[in-house]
Amino acid sequence: MSLYVKPIEIDSDDILTELVRDSLGSILGDRYELVADNIPFEGNHILALDTDHRPVVVSCDRREGGRALLSGLAVMEGLAGHRAMLYRLYPKLFRTGTERGSIFRLEDARLMVLAPKRPPGGYYLDKAFPFLSLFTFRTLQVGDKMGLLIEACRSDHDSGFSGTPTACLSNTPQFRSGAADLNRDEELYFQRL
């Protein structure tokens, strides 16, 4: 069987958000929980809880990393400044059982930025801010499936991601993530990236 892999451009933020949402298990772990994929802030953001039940904002942009980073930071600031709205819209974000009742602390939240290229200053930011994780992606077509090849941007601290490229492929039009049914040639292709 011949290998059919080609990079493709996506021209829709909705498609990117759907592909990223379906790939969350690859970057947050299998036991993540989706809170919302359409939060009331400008940009493309997904709000989830990671395997440790910590809030994570995934900010993605199909064109540039700088814009994904800045809009993600604006979301983090907005989340911290609008706790009452958050409590009504997303009660899963708030831990209960504390002596002060339900709390949401910005210090507990993480920001993950996904873009085709690392944002300017990304190496410095990734090392200086442990709550920030940077990822790059490529949109690929493998056979009749479309998906993302996601790679963690390397730094000296552990970003919570193994750094191994992860192919998250989808069937058209239904999407799924995880290890798609790749033939041997396709598996070798992804191992060489």
Tell me if residue 176 falls in helix, strand or coil. coil
Contact 188, 167 (CB under 8 A): no
Q: Dump pLDDT digits (tens) for 35-81.
A: 999 888 999 999 999 888 889 999 999 999 999 999 999 999 888 88
How crowded is the C-beta side of 108, counted as CA atoms within 13 Å?
15
| Calpha distance 109→73 (Å, rounded) | 11
Q: What average pLDDT does this structure show over 13-38?
A: 90
What was the pLDDT predicted at 92?
A: 80
Burial 144-178 (b: 16+ CB within 10 A, else e): ebbbbbbbbbebeeebbbeeebbbbbbeeeebebe
Contact 46, 113 (CB under 8 A): no
Contact 114, 135 (CB under 8 A): yes
At 168, list the tokens: 């998250």
At 162, list the tokens: 């193994």
Name which residue leads in pLDDT, 166 or 18: 18
Q: Dump pLDDT digits (tens) for 82-135.
A: 878 888 888 887 765 554 445 566 677 899 999 999 998 888 887 788 889 999
Q: What average pLDDT does this structure show over 2-19?
A: 86
What was the pLDDT predicted at 127?
A: 79
Q: Output the average pLDDT for the chain.
A: 78
pTM of the shown model = 0.76
Tell me if residue 29 falls in helix, strand or coil. coil
Check pLDDT > 70 for residue 191: no
What was the pLDDT predicted at 161?
A: 44
What confidence tier does 33 reach under pLDDT thresholds 50, 70, 90? very high
| Calpha distance 49→5 (Å, rounded) | 33
